Amino acid sequence: MLAHFSGLLAHRSDESSGTRRKDAFVNSNPKLFIGSASESLDIARALEDELQNVASTEVWEDAFRPGYYTLEELTRKASEVDFAAFILGQEDKTDSRGDMTLSPRDNVVYEAGLFAGRLGVPRVFLLVDSRGTKIPTDWKGLGYVMYDGGAGSTKDAVHPAAVRIRKEISDWAINNASSVDERILGHWWQYVVNRMDGAVLSMLNIASSPSSSGWQIRGTAWTGDGKSVAEYWSRAVALDGRDSKLFYYWEGKDPFGESIPQYFGVGEIQFDGPGSGLISNGDGWYSESPLVKLDATLRKSTKYIRASETDFQVTKGNDRAALDKLIAAQLEQRKGYMLL
């Protein structure tokens, strides 16, 4: 499923100079171009599958319009995306001073350089076959992401690289997040309104976080029978101030397990009203994917009601009877919002 991880960096460009700020997204949804030789297209497709929950992806084969020159289309595409990844495989042989070496296709190397010049080197990911391939001498010192060209499946080949790229994209968002809108800060009840299974009720807190340039979301979730089932936190958050819409990328875990993320996803909250007063309602959705089984992604529709400080403290306290009573009351209130 294509997740809309939106608006995490400012949209700024300089059309007259043909360049744009290298700390800005040109799209509201981060867009990733994936380039490869035709022989490595299966690797490119596998990488696309792994990254669709964090960015809108486009493989080179799908990117070009018929009737246009490839160089013209590459230049256009480099202006339309926010990140790029190139598969540097073993498609060719290069004679270097008498030594025959496996190497990527020249055109892929050229394309990677073109995109690096447009986007900036940190936003171009070079996936290098771990079995060895010749890299241009003047690229020495750049950071590469290795993939296992000898793996049993293309998914296994690219998964470690995809994990790293996913983190890099979310870190870019964290370091360039938007400014705080104090009207939406505070505690919120989140009701899942289109499903009866799994986590259906959450208490989440939206806070100002100077260390991440603006935002932080943390939450606790319960099932329909009142069982605490998850703790989660944001990896990146941003606000579209025009529409009072919040976008976030999250990770979560079993509240009684190790502190290692077991789930991840993206989400969107549309708060009621612009206006100047405190906002107290909202609607939205979020996706949920197990880290070990990406094809099991769920999309949950949500309703948000502002929670009191008293309710928040009960969810964080040690009074089990008070917590059970509060959760039961909120689960009952949730029934009024159900879409089923």
Res 123: pLDDT: 87
Residue 300's closest CA among 221, 188, 231, 199? 199
CB of 339 closer than 8 Å to CB of 301: yes
Domains of the chain: 31-176 (3.40.50.360), 180-338 (2.40.128)
Give the DSSP letter of residue 335: G
Here the tokens at position 8 are 């995490």
Chain-centre distance for alpha carbon 234 = 11
Whole-angstrom distance, CA of residue 291 vs CA of residue 262: 6
H-state helical runs in the chain = 41-51, 60-63, 70-80, 106-119, 154-175, 309-316, 320-334
Res 2: pLDDT: 28
Res 17: pLDDT: 35
Whole-angstrom distance, CA of residue 71 vs CA of residue 259: 47
Res 12: pLDDT: 27
What SS3 state is found at 75? helix
Whole-angstrom distance, CA of residue 262 vs CA of residue 197: 18
First and final C-alpha spacing in the chain: 22
Tens of pLDDT along the chain (340 residues)? 223 333 332 332 333 334 444 445 555 567 889 998 888 898 899 999 888 877 788 888 754 555 554 677 788 788 888 899 998 877 666 656 667 667 677 778 888 888 888 888 888 998 888 877 767 655 655 667 888 888 878 888 889 888 888 888 877 765 555 555 778 889 999 999 998 888 899 999 998 765 444 678 999 999 999 999 999 998 777 777 666 788 888 889 887 766 667 888 889 999 986 555 678 899 999 988 887 665 567 889 999 999 999 999 999 999 999 999 999 999 999 999 987 5
pTM: 0.52
Whole-angstrom distance, CA of residue 51 vs CA of residue 191: 28
